[in-house]
Amino acid sequence: MFPLFVGSGVALVTPFNRQGVDTDVLQELVAFHLREGTDALVVNGSTGEAATMSAAEQRAAAEAAVEAAAGRVPVIVGAGGSDTAAVVELARAARAARADAVLVSPPPYNKPPAAGILAHYRAVLDAADLPLVVYNVPSRTACNLAPALIEQLAEDERVVGVKEASGDIAQIVDLARRVGDRLSIYSGNDDQVLPFLALGGQGVISVLANIAPAATTRMVHSFMEGKLDEARELQLDYLPLIRALFSEPNPIPVKAAVAALGFAVGEVRLPLVPPSQACMGELVACMRERGIHPAEAVHA
């Protein structure tokens, strides 16, 4: 399975209500993204607040997304945590939910050696029996997956992609050199989509796509179609909005932005808190600058 998808995979926020995951609103979000041309859906990631969700909630979110997507785009389900046994169970739940792939970061906090990281991924691969996308996000895990280690993981044909969010361009170049002919490489940072594409990457797993799905998709496909000026213009024009989306810890700003579009996604869960007035003011101003206005998306 190469590539898993080409274009924009949205790292979906998770709607919550008093009972838990609001699966009706989640399916509204999926319908929105299908209309807007998003190429893949990622649920139960860091943007989806998976760290605050129970295993049952994560399975409910995965099942709702798969049902709403109905095979029209791939659904990639996050499976992360510090306890390999618990992550194994999440991977099995993703398979039971009929996910197309799992997205797996190295265990945070534990700081395992390379042998432990490899053993962790192999246990998850065996449990999921699904294609796996490696997620390198050292800012959250305190563990940077070196290209040489990802190259070892790529020896297993079930490993099909990498979401690379180190922000280190030199590392990304080395990664592309080592595994670009075998794995789909996706930018994990919205402000670096074009550099990834220039190195042979297949797209982005995006926070921006939550509120600008069509533009994010167009950025990638314009590049793939040789419309380099259009792709570059989109990358540069959306940079202020991208920065606003990360002016406070993700997903605080983006979840508030999705709510501003009219989706009843609720607030972030503790220990996250709603955005400050300064953050929200900057965010709304940047949204309006790009022609994104409140409550237009739901009924578009």
Alpha-carbon distance of 256 to 292, in angstroms, equals 14
Instruction: Report strand pairing: 184-187 vs 40-43.
Output: unpaired
The answer to whether residue 109 is catalytic is no
Element housing 136 (H / E): strand 132-136
Look up residue 73 and give its DSSP letter: S
Catalytic: which of 121, 163, 186, 238? 163
The residue among 211, 212, 161, 213 whose CA lies nearest residue 187 is 161
Residue type, 187: S
Instruction: Copy the structure tokens of residue 208.
Output: 């921006």
Element housing 248 (H / E): none
Alpha-carbon distance of 194 to 55, in angstroms, equals 35
The answer to whether residue 135 is catalytic is yes
Catalytic: which of 111, 121, 135, 238? 135
Q: How far is CA 196 from CA 29, 165, 175, 252, in A?
A: 27, 11, 11, 26
**Which residues are catalytically annotated?**
135, 163
